[in-house]
Amino acid sequence: MGPMIDKIGSCAYSRSRANFRLYLVILFLSCWLLLLYVLSLGTDTRNSKSTKGMDLPTLYEYYTEGGITAGLETLPDTFQLNKKNITIFSGAIHYFRVHPDYWRDRLRKLRAAGFNAVETYIPWNLHEPERDKYDFGHGSSDMSLFLDVVKYIKTAQEEDLLVLVRPSPYICAEWDFGGMPSWLLQYPGLRVRSSETQYVDRVKKYNSRLMPLLESLQFTKGGPIIAFQLENEYGALTEDGSEEDVDYLKFLKEDYEKYGIVELLYTSDNPISHEERGSLPGVLQTANFQINPEDELSLLKKFQPDKPGMVMEYWSGWFDHWFEKQHHTTSVEAFSDVLERILKFPASVNLYMFHGGTNFGFHNGANIQDEFPHYLADVTSYDYDAPLTETGDYTNKYYACKHIVAKYNKVLTKVPSSPVVSKKMAYKPISVTGQLNFNQIIDRIVSC
């Protein structure tokens, strides 16, 4: 039995050594995996902490800590909000181009990408569709459902976003008549976007309804609005030989202030094309462009050396016209390259558009050109090749934005998880039961 016992003892010893070696391998691998996990947290703190680090403050907690003593201010090389440095990472989402049921979804997707602000125009022609008949979400028109701008701005605040508002009478935005109501054309001699008396009187009446709604939503009043635009690309008016009406810009500034608007005011133009035309002394100038960021921003800095750079419209894509052969797109690589160069300059930025949405009804605008067919009507879709598609789906541009913002954002705050994409469905075909040709439509209008 002796040799048998030795053999058994030797086997047991061998198994013990093998188990010990296996234990060491498992321990080593466990430590290595734990080390990799810790390193991964450290290399991407802006994204991982934003979703997992519950000790981070919200955006509003960070910028309102200790009470609100100041709004958005300009220093030579940076913005400050409530006396704290801020780089504005903003994206345009127009409430009137998105069904209200999706407002929160689109806004949360913006915040989930690390952005800290949303920008929107306010279209005069929707809010005063008929002379002296105003609609801010409680009217009876087909578009009334879309027009509760106060609710939209409050929803943005609930989603931890600051707001840049562009309530100027003219918005462009590839929107019908640039957002001005068509009934203005009934006034003989009225000159839009000028200090002409009839036009100014109508703007005053409109502002008397709009501005009180926005006054209480200002950041210094506890709301989310940090800045207001006076006019939109006003310098472009001079391209056809028109003279700049500085008195009109002064009127807008005074009228805003009359209603208690105290947040930062700004204008937006293309510096290379329009230089300082469209601006007003003491009002922040911002830039609109798609390429050549260093040239545009250097010129902007030359015009206002005591203020930081801000790109109010970095065009993420472009819009389409009827009968064009293809959808306008901008590659992710080209888009990302310019965005990084803007932030490196350094400057703040608003993406136009972050989510384009839809030109509902007949509110799509148009462009004119010298060549045939001269009049180019915009399509119903305002997809714009933006980071979020017309239906709110994520694109490669979205993920590029998220990566770039995380790289340049120095203020870490809580960021929500990205919402799931919505389910899609196809509606059943609808049979056409009747039609009117163009002449029949004209006859009906005349008879009315």
CB 261 within 8 Å of CB 228: yes
| pLDDT on residue 54 | 63
| pLDDT on residue 13 | 41
Asked whether residue 361 is domain-assigned, the answer is: yes
Question: Dihedral sign, CA of 263, 269, 275, 279?
Answer: negative
| pLDDT on residue 14 | 45
371 is catalytic: no
Which among 119, 233, 263, 296 is annotated as catalytic? 233
Asked whether residue 258 is domain-assigned, the answer is: yes
276 is catalytic: no
Asked whether residue 247 is domain-assigned, the answer is: yes
Asked whether residue 26 is domain-assigned, the answer is: no
**Domain coverage including residue 85:** 75-408
Asked whether residue 199 is domain-assigned, the answer is: yes
pLDDT one digit per residue (tens) for the chain, 448 residues: 444 333 334 433 444 454 556 565 556 555 555 544 434 433 333 343 444 446 999 999 999 999 999 999 999 999 999 999 999 999 999 999 999 999 999 999 999 999 999 999 999 999 999 999 999 999 999 999 999 999 999 999 999 999 999 999 999 999 999 999 999 999 999 999 999 999 999 999 999 999 999 999 999 999 999 999 999 999 999 888 888 999 999 999 999 999 999 999 999 999 999 999 999 999 999 999 999 999 999 999 999 999 999 999 999 999 999 999 999 999 999 999 999 999 999 999 999 999 999 999 999 999 998 888 899 999 999 999 999 999 999 999 999 999 999 999 999 999 999 999 999 999 999 999 999 999 999 888 865 5
Asked whether residue 329 is domain-assigned, the answer is: yes
CB 190 within 8 Å of CB 137: no
Which among 159, 174, 296, 313 is annotated as catalytic? 313
CATH of the domain at 387: 3.20.20.80
Asked whether residue 30 is domain-assigned, the answer is: no
Asked whether residue 388 is domain-assigned, the answer is: yes
Burial (CB < 10 A; 0-12, 13-18, 19+), residue 411, is middle
Report the domain count for the chain. Answer: 1
